[in-house]
Amino acid sequence: MPAWHFSTLVIIVESMDLSDKQHNEDATPWRPVSPGISTLLTKSQARSWALVLDSRSIPCCIAPDGTAWQLLVPEPHLESARRELQLFEEANQSWPPALPATRQLIENTLPTVSVLLLLATFHNLTLVGLSLPERGILDLYELGAAHAASIRIGQWWQCVTALTLHAGPVHLLGNLTIGGIFIILLCRELGSGLAWSLLLASGTLGNLLNAWVQSPDHRSVGASTAVFGAVGILAAISMVRYRHDLQRRWFIPVAAGLALLAILGTEGKHTDLGAHLFGFCFGVFFGTAAEIMVGKQGRPGSVVNALLALSSGGIVVGAWWCAIVFG
């Protein structure tokens, strides 16, 4: 039905002079639609029902009745009008669907901020290097950066270690402030263990795929791949959780995430758009799976959350061990 049809119909039925209706009553009396359906309606309900009847080519008009309204139809169309409106009400009695129950956020802001501060502390370590016996001072930036050629020949750990490195203080500050907001929200939404696991997976796979689509000499560093993974995860959670309420607009949360990617993830001389985009896409994938599982089974318990958090930390430590030993 065209968008203008609604307003045109309302103008016609509301401006109909009742004297004209009475003038025609001798030929065809007009009756209120009543049995099974209330005679007195709100203006909004009367308009909606008038549209339903108009779509079925049943003539009708809306007439004021004190503080309420009546929907009138010619007597020969009375039964068909009642039937159509009853079918309409039955089909829409559970619409719009109730919003899902609000999920209480977990208070884990302090542990999340502590991890972010640990990331900042590690950045300071990369500036001075790491001294090892018989190895001298190691260049952690060189060992941990995601070098496409090295990743392609099996040095997978660079996909992880690159997430803990930053090109400079401005790069680090941006990830800790803007990115920290999304990470804190995600950890409160899913729990620290599950959130950090999904962030690590999104960032790691984003770097891995980016290494295969970039030229062999491509290098990248930064937690922003995981940050945009967080944006994708949050967008997917909203998309899945409110998919019934959004109806055909289910893509809006993801579109908003892509808009955020365009605003924050494409600026800067050394911005790695590919890594940001792939991190976001993997975030959407993992966020969709996580929200479906959490919706059915609930968030992980404290033990599972702790194991996931320890596993995430262990993967990062193990990746750096591989970088130092085999790099």
Q: Tell me the average pLDDT of the chain.
A: 83
Question: Which pLDDT band, with edges at 50, 70 and 90, does 39 fall under?
Answer: low
Of 168-172, 252-256, 316-320, the range with the lowest mean pLDDT is: 252-256
Which CATH superfamily hosts domain 109-326? Rhomboid-like (1.20.1540.10)
Residue 134: predicted pLDDT: 74
pLDDT reported for residue 65 = 75
Count the neighbouring beta carbons within 10 Å of the beta carbon of residue 324: 17
pLDDT number for residue 280: 92
Active site residue 131: no
What's the confidence (pLDDT) of residue 131? Answer: 76
Residues of the chain with pLDDT > 70: what percent?
82
pLDDT tens figures, 268-289? 555 688 889 999 999 999 999 9
Question: Class of the 5-91 domain?
Answer: alpha beta
Average pLDDT over residues 168-184: 89
- Of residues 97 and 164, the one with the higher pLDDT is 164
pLDDT of residue 185: 93
Domain boundaries, the chain: 5-91, 109-326
> What is the average pLDDT across 122-143?
82
pLDDT recorded at residue 248: 55
Joined tokens for residue 101: 């129950």
224 classed as catalytic: yes
Tens digit of pLDDT for each residue in 68-127? 788 888 988 888 988 888 888 887 776 666 666 677 889 999 999 999 999 999 988 888
Active-site pick, 224, 238, 244, 311: 224
From the candidates 77, 197, 276, 312, give the one annotated as an active-site residue: 276
Give the model's confidence band at 27: pLDDT under 50 very low, under 70 low, under 90 confident, else very high. Answer: low
* pTM score: 0.70
Instruction: Write the CB contacts of 183 (distance below 8 Å, at least 6 apart in sequence).
Output: 112, 116, 195, 199, 227, 230
At residue 247 the predicted structure's pLDDT band, cuts being 50, 70 and 90, is low
Question: Which range is least confidently modeled, 95-104, 128-137, 145-154, 201-210?
Answer: 95-104
